Amino acid sequence: EWTAGFRITCLLLPKPPLSVPELGLISQLFIDAKVFITEQGQIMTIMKFFAANVTTAGTTDMSAESLYKVRKKAEPKVCDAIEGILEEMLRVLREVYMVKGKKGA
């Protein structure tokens, strides 16, 4: 089993760190969109990585099982939070990275 040797804190300022349900949903979206490619039945491997290496709001320790359970059971407020994050990611892509590409930077 691979261990990164570091912890990632989910911070997208000015928003507080992601909650466990938010991390579970965004992880599942990356799987569904084929950003994280997993073999059949191997989703738990990704959840184990996040559980071992990511700190979320209100928790110092989370289990892969808790992430796995919440990944497809998102409440509307969780979906709204993730939608806001995705919109912010698109804004940054357009304003920072696409602009750099057009300028030849």
The answer, yes or no, to whether residue 58 has pLDDT greater than 90, is no
For residues 40 and 42, what is the distance between their CA atoms, to the nearest angstrom?
A: 6
pLDDT digits (tens, 9 = 90+) for 15-51: 568 899 999 999 999 999 999 888 888 899 999 999 9
* AA letter at 51: A
For residues 103 and 23, what is the distance between their CA atoms, to the nearest angstrom?
A: 34
SS3 sequence of 29-96:
HHHHCCCCCCCCCCHHHHHHHHHHHEECCCCCCCCHHHHHHHCCCCCHHHHHHHHHHHHHHHHHHHHH
C-alpha radius of gyration, the chain, whole number: 15
pLDDT digits (tens, 9 = 90+) for 59-100: 878 899 999 999 999 999 999 999 999 999 999 999 999 977
In the three-class reduction of DSSP (H, G, I as helix; E, B as strand; rest coil), residue 15 is classed as strand
Phi-psi domain of 3 (left: phi exceeds 0; alpha: psi -120 through 50; beta: other): beta
